[in-house]
Amino acid sequence: MNFPFYIAKRYFFARKKTSFISLISIISMLGVGVGTMALVVVLSVFNGLEDFQRSLFKSFDADLKISPVKGKRFDCPPSFLQKISKIDGVKSINQVIEENVIVRYRDAQTVVTLKGVDDNFLKQDRLKKTIIDGKMLLKADGISHAIVGSGVAITLGVDVDAFFTPLETWYPRNTNSKTIDFTSSDAFNKMSLIPSGVFAIEQQYDDHYIFVPLTFAQNLFDYNDERTSLEIQVSDSERINQIQEEVKEKLGENFTIQNQDQQHASLLRAIKIEKLFVFLTLTFIIGIASFNIFFSLSMLAIEKKEDVKTLYAIGANRGMIQRIFLSEGAIVAFSGAIVGLILGFTLCWLQQTYGLVSMGIVGALIDAYPVKMQFWDFFFTALVVVIITMIASYFPAKKAAVQR
**Among 386, 303, 308, 313, residue whose Cα is nearest residue 4:** 308
Domains held by the chain: number: 2
The mean pLDDT of the chain is: 83
pLDDT range class, residue 392, cuts 50, 70, 90: confident
Contact yes or no for 97/214 (Cβ under 8 A): yes
Q: Are strands 90-105 and 229-234 parallel, antiparallel or unpaired?
A: antiparallel
Residue 16 confidence (pLDDT) above 50: no
The answer on 216 and 110 residing in a single domain is yes
Domain end position, chosen among 199, 228, 263: 263
Residues 6+ apart with CB under 8 A from 380: none
The answer on 298 and 246 residing in a single domain is no
Q: Are strands 90-105 and 167-172 parallel, antiparallel or unpaired?
A: antiparallel
The answer on 255 and 394 residing in a single domain is no
Domain end position, chosen among 222, 238, 263: 263
CA atoms within 13 A on the CB side of 82: 3
Contact yes or no for 232/66 (Cβ under 8 A): yes
Residue 212 confidence (pLDDT) above 90: yes
The answer on 137 and 69 residing in a single domain is yes
Structure confidence at residue 275 (pLDDT) = 87
Q: What residue type is 347 in one-letter code?
A: L
Which one has a higher pLDDT value, 11 or 196? 196
- Per-residue pLDDT reduced to its tens digit, 56-67: 777 788 889 999
Predicted TM-score (pTM) of the model is 0.74
The answer on 358 and 226 residing in a single domain is no
The answer on 153 and 219 residing in a single domain is yes
What whole-number distance in Å separates Cα of residue 140 and Cα of residue 32?
64
Once rounded to an integer, what is the mean pLDDT over residues 140-157? 93
Residue 13 φ/ψ, nearest 5 degrees: -100, 20
Contact yes or no for 174/222 (Cβ under 8 A): yes
What whole-number distance in Å separates Cα of residue 344 and Cα of residue 174?
60
**Percent of the chain, pLDDT > 90?**
36
- Beta pairing partners, 114: 99, 210
Residue 134 confidence (pLDDT) above 80: yes
Once rounded to an integer, what is the mean pLDDT over residues 209-226? 93
The answer on 271 and 259 residing in a single domain is no
Residue 298 confidence (pLDDT) above 80: no
The answer on 220 and 79 residing in a single domain is yes
What whole-number distance in Å separates Cα of residue 50 and Cα of residue 56?
10
Once rounded to an integer, what is the mean pLDDT over residues 146-174? 91
The answer on 216 and 304 residing in a single domain is no
- Per-residue pLDDT reduced to its tens digit, 326-364: 777 778 778 888 899 999 999 999 988 887 777 655 555
Domain range for 192 is 62-263
- The dihedral through the CA atoms of 106, 112, 115, 116 has a sign that is positive
Domain end position, chosen among 210, 237, 263: 263
The answer on 314 and 200 residing in a single domain is no
In angstroms, what is the C-alpha Rg of the chain?
Answer: 32
Structure confidence at residue 264 (pLDDT) = 84
What whole-number distance in Å separates Cα of residue 194 and Cα of residue 161?
10
The answer on 335 and 217 residing in a single domain is no
What H or E segment, with its residue span, contains residue 381? Answer: helix 375-401
Question: CB burial class (10 A; 0-12, 13-18, 19+) of residue 150?
Answer: buried
The answer on 100 and 180 residing in a single domain is yes
Angle at 365 between CA 235 and CA 376, to 5 degrees: 65
What whole-number distance in Å separates Cα of residue 14 and Cα of residue 328?
12
Give 86's DSSP letter: T
Structure confidence at residue 50 (pLDDT) = 85
Once rounded to an integer, what is the mean pLDDT over residues 297-304? 71
